[in-house]
Amino acid sequence: MALPSPPLFIVFNASSGGADAEQASGRVGDLLTAAGRPHEIIRVRGDEELTRATVRASHAAREAHGAVVAAGGDGTLNAVAQVVWNADQVMGVLPQGTFNYFGRTHGMPTALDDSVAALLSAREQAVTVGLLGERVFLVNASVGLYPRLLEERESAKRRFGRRRVVALLSGLGTILRGGSVLTLELSVEGQTRVVRTRTLFVGNNELQLQEIGLRHAVDVEQGRLAAITLQPVSTLRTLWLLIRGALGRLDGAEGVDSFAFDQLVVRMRRRVRWVKVALDGEVLRMPPPLVFRTAPRPLRLLLPAAEAEEGSA
């Protein structure tokens, strides 16, 4: 006799408050009910509710020997992953964001019905995650230009809608306005160097790195992290680098430095109490020095059957 499928406790971020989010969460419930899968959907609206709801889902999943599922964009997935990873529990994803790098990397479809079907047949697989201090990141973490770009992008999305074209145009505007230059002391693998850069970007997602054309996507696939720094260059030069990235040809470009690592310590050359950082699209403040590293244990992630079999091969 087959064992009953573990229940799913779904944290569904409906922060937009629109009918689409309500319809999507209702559709997920209908599909799971039709499949006979035990579940509970916990709807949240905004970041303030998200962590509390995830902790509640984590406790319920532990008691029922189930899994916590994050339904939302990469920021929602990050918040859920932080709680689930700390508790060493199993996590599933239903990608509902703008870019969905984490879900797409691990074979989860972006169409809602297809992602629910994939979740129903998913198997547990160990997945490497990154840490900034004790904070988990699934896709990327950064300081400098990128956090400011994200803040201005979110502001534009609230005004004009959560569409890719809005994100791209907002990012272009941020770059055209320029920004300050950081002087950072980077310590990696026993060596320390000082760099001047507009941004330090740390990637943990091979799909995102592949799309901009960086060879270190292979290192990330093998469980390391990749760092990218952008030297201070003119606005026109920055735009050219942006175009190269959009074309998937950033590797080898003048002014761009990248390297793979397992641990990177970043110190600010001027004294500051905190640094604005971005983790998977969410901006927060953290005290220096900043320590980026691969997590000492993986995230236990539910992957579509084909992806799980490939990962264990």
pLDDT band at 48 (very low <50, low <70, confident <90, very high): confident
Give the model's pLDDT for residue 38.
96
For the chain, the average pLDDT equals 84
Give the model's pLDDT for residue 155.
58
Q: Which contacts (CB < 8 Å, 24+ apart) does range 213-219 have? A: 213/244, 213/245, 213/247, 213/248, 213/249, 213/250, 213/251, 214/250, 214/251, 214/258, 215/251, 215/258, 216/258, 216/259, 216/260, 219/260
Q: What percentage of the chain carries pLDDT values higher than 90?
A: 55
Q: Would the pLDDT of 166 be above 80?
A: no
Give the model's pLDDT for residue 235.
66
Give the model's pLDDT for residue 173.
47
Give the model's pLDDT for residue 167.
53
Show Cβ contacts of residue 272 under 8 Å, excluding neighbours closer than 6 positions: 288
**What mean pLDDT is predicted for residues 283-311?**
87
Among the residue ranges 39-48, 113-122, 263-272, the one predicted with the least confidence is 39-48
Q: Tokens 């998977």 belong to which residue?
A: 280
The larger pLDDT score, comparing residue 62 to residue 144, is at: 62
Q: Would the pLDDT of 25 be above 60?
A: yes
Closest CA to 249 of 202, 211, 195, 199: 211
Burial class of residue 247, CB neighbours in 10 A (0-12, 13-18, 19+) = exposed
Give the model's pLDDT for residue 99.
80
- Per DSSP (E only), the strands in 121-217 are 123-127, 130-132, 135-137, 140-144, 182-188, 191-197, 199-203
**What mean pLDDT is predicted for residues 154-181?**
54
Q: Tokens 């959907």 belong to which residue?
A: 41
The larger pLDDT score, comparing residue 218 to residue 133, is at: 133
Count of C-beta atoms within a 10 Å radius of residue 107: 16
**What mean pLDDT is predicted for residues 17-38?**
86
Give the model's pLDDT for residue 105.
92
Q: Would the pLDDT of 65 be above 70?
A: yes
- pLDDT tens-digit series, residues 197-221: 888 999 999 998 888 887 888 889 8
Give the model's pLDDT for residue 89.
97
Please state, in angstroms and rounded to a whole number, the distance separating the CA atoms of residues 68 and 301.
Answer: 10
- Token pair listed for 76: 């929602």
Please state, in angstroms and rounded to a whole number, the distance separating the CA atoms of residues 174 and 165.
Answer: 14
What domains, with CATH codes, occur in the chain?
8-128+298-312 (3.40.50.10330), 136-294 (2.60.200.40)
pLDDT band at 84 (very low <50, low <70, confident <90, very high): very high
- pLDDT tens-digit series, residues 270-279: 889 999 999 9
Give the model's pLDDT for residue 268.
93
Give the model's pLDDT for residue 169.
45
Q: Would the pLDDT of 251 be above 90?
A: no
The larger pLDDT score, comparing residue 125 to residue 45, is at: 125
pTM: 0.86
